[in-house]
Amino acid sequence: MTSAALGGRQQPVDVYLPPGYAAHASARYPVVYLLHGFPGMPAGFFRAGRLGVVEDILIAKRLIRPVILVAPFGSTGVFTDKEWANGVRPHEGWETYVARDVVRAVDARYRTIRAGWARALVGLSEGGYGALNIGVHHPGEFRVLESWSGYVRADDIASIFGKRQAVLRWNSPALTFPAAAAALRAAHTFVWFYSGSVDKSLLPQNREFEQELSRLRIGSHFAVVRGGHDWALWRGQAAKALLAACKRLLLPSYQARARHVPGTSNVRKGRA
């Protein structure tokens, strides 16, 4: 796809269509957007993370309804860091690329439910930070925000944030959630996140963030999971994470709107 936020740059986007998509020509689907870490590529979610297989299994067990999985590429190279943020340099609008350009392109090309209550923004490591940072800047654009081993304070990277304290603060969810709390509550935003038990550099700030979300009365779930900062942890939690996202994309008040999605009548209620 071509992104105006990136100055017309073309970026690859991996899309996984659920079982039955071709057979139900009139059906529309919720979308789960997946943000990779650094270094990383979109394909990691489907190769190392096996997210497509995970979705197929959950659908077969009638635990979730079908969703479209979308994994954009968030950089100009595997080892080029962009933080999924709007940088200070021209044509470096990586946040806008996700929240506006990718969403519009997916809505235009696929049979999606074109509403924020039918979208989840999920990321791992740097992508987890990106999901929270983008979500807080765009209340209502995504119903669920998930961070797998992410962080909530922007890394002071000069090439992205220009050593500008105001820009760093604006891109630190730990500091921006309070001002957006009312809008996030009104949009029924739910934050689902976890840290590995031996991820010592990120675990403390996530624990503090959990307390902040509770104080702000923003719906959330936080867990400390045994493991480190790697695919062994993320792959092991993938089913639980996808189940949690899909559960929140089908709140009771919106079930009537989602009845045209195949499989919704068979979704089981449960804790996630």
pLDDT, position 201: 87
Strands 119-124 and 31-35: what pairing? parallel
For residue 4, the model assigns a pLDDT of 97
**Residues listed for the chain:** 272
Percent of the chain that is helix, strand, coil (3-state, to 5): 40, 15, 45
Question: Do 79 and 73 meet the contact criterion of CB atoms below 8 Å apart?
Answer: no
- One-letter amino acid of 75: S
- pLDDT given for residue 154 in this prediction: 96
Quick one: pLDDT at residue 200? 87
> Measuring CA to CA, which residue among 78, 60, 56 is closest to residue 69?
56
> In sequence order, what DSSP letters do the residues of 186-219 get, joined into one string?
HTT-EEEEEEETT-TTTHHHHHHHHHHHHHHT--
- pLDDT in the model for residue 214: 97
- Collect the ranges in the chain with pLDDT lower than 50: 252-260, 263-272
